[in-house]
Structure formats: structure tokens, C-alpha cells
Chains A and B, each alone.
Chain A
Amino acid sequence: EPEVTQTPSHQVTQMGQEVILRCVPISNHLYFYWYRQILGQKVEFLVSFYNNEISEKSEIFDDQFSVERPDGSNFTLKIRSTKLEDSAMYFCASSVGRSGNTIYFGEGSWLTVV
């Protein structure tokens, strides 16, 4: 079964450093997402991406965050200057259509900011 793959599975970074989380969505999918889950809290929507542009973003997705699809296969989330509160599990997801029942999540990238 096709799957969304994410790298790295775990990254530790110093506060203020830039971090790039990488994702390879399922090949025929058109919509791409990032969600995150801070330990002990709920999964939160960050951003959705379609046709090479952001289609929706949440309040969490401020100027410190950016996404891009640099080469047609990877989908990346960049955090420009990490803060302690950015420590979380970041889930990439993709879907053929926009409906939630078609969204496939990756296994997550655990980011620890120290």
C-alpha cells in the first residue's frame, strides 16, 4: 500500500536554529498538509498546499514557518528560528481530494528543541 514517508523520524535542534522536515507524499496525490501534535495535546492543523501554493493555514503557521515543493516529489516544512514550544511531532499528510476521508498521514517527525 502506498504511504507517506517522512524524514527525519527524530531531530534534536538548538533553539534559534533552522529546521527542515521532509516528506514524500503519495505519488498521485494533489493536496499536501502539515499537522503537529505537542506531547499530551491534540493534533493541530498547520497548513495545506495545493497547486504549488498554500490553500489554508492556521494561526500557528506564522512567518517562522514555510512550506515548499521544491522538486515535484518532496514536500518540506521549514521552521526558520526554532523555539522551545515548537517541540512536537510533525505529521505530513497527502490526499487525492480535499475530503478528510482521503487523507493519508505519515508516521511523523519528532522535533525536540533544546
Chain B
Amino acid sequence: DQQVKQNSPSLSVQEGRISILNCDYTNSMFDYFLWYKKYPAEGPTFLISISSIKDKNEDGRFTVFLNKSAKHLSLHIVPSQPGDSAVYFCAASRTGAGSYQLTFGKGTKLSVIP
């Protein structure tokens, strides 16, 4: 039951270019979306989030776009840096339904090549 899907297991990008990580969801009850970053042997670290009432949220080099009609969100990293190399997880929750548990995607491993 994959309610949150990250269809690209890996992505390689040249340093300085844009990285675009994609995420699709199936549950229309999801109303809050997050991106987490994970390095090996560490726990996930919060990166950026977006509420379903918005279609874009920006924080420095990171921008998240939400397309509710397509049930799709994406994370843009511009410019990409070698330190961005990590696994990126998309997550969603149904806060309007009183549920704050996070449903994660399987992750996309980003490699930024110097």
C-alpha cells in the first residue's frame, strides 16, 4: 500500500545545476507534506514542508511545489552542492483528520557530482 510514492530510486546531478526530486501521493486526505534528508547512519532530518493550502514554499536553495489536482509534489534544489548528496524522503500527514503520523515514500538517493 504505497500511499506516497517516489518513483526514482536515484538521481545524479552536476554541482551547480538544479536537482528535482518528485513525489506522488494517492490519499486525498493528506494535507501536509514534508521533505526529509537522510545521511547514512543518521536519522531523517527535516528540510522543508508545505501545507495543502499553498502551492509553493521556498527556503533558501530549497523550494517545494505542490500540485494538488495531480497529487504531486516536487523538491527543487538550486544550486545543487556536493553536501546535498543524501537520501531524500517525501512524507505526508492528515492533520485535518487529527492524524500527525508521517507516511513516507521509499526515498530518492541524490548524488551531486563535483
Interface set of A (CB-CB < 8 Å, partner B): 4, 31, 35, 41-45, 48, 56, 58, 91, 93, 98-108
Interface of chain B residues 82 through 114 with chain A (CB within 8 A): 89, 91, 93, 95, 99-107
B70 beta carbon closer than 8 Å to chain A: no
A91 and B44 CA atoms in complex are apart in Å by 9
Are the C-beta atoms of A91 and B104 separated by less than 8 Å? Answer: no
Q: Given the interface contacts A99-B32, A100-B34, A100-B49, does A42 sit within 8 Å of B104 by beta carbon? A: yes
**Assembled-state Cα–Cα distance A96/B92 (Å):** 19
Q: Contact between A99 and B43 (Cβ–Cβ < 8 Å)?
A: no
Interface residues in B, total, Cβ within 8 A: 23
A45 surroundings in chain B (CB, below 8 A): 101-103
Given contacts A42-B89, A98-B95, A108-B41, 12 further A-B pairs with CB under 8 A are: A35-B102, A41-B106, A48-B100, A48-B101, A91-B43, A99-B49, A100-B34, A100-B102, A101-B49, A104-B46, A105-B43, A107-B42
Decide if B43 touches A98 in the complex (CB within 8 Å).
no
**Chain A to chain B contacts (Cβ below 8 Å), 5 pairs:** A45-B102, A99-B100, A101-B46, A103-B46, A105-B43
Asked if B52 is an interface residue, CB under 8 A from chain A, the answer is no
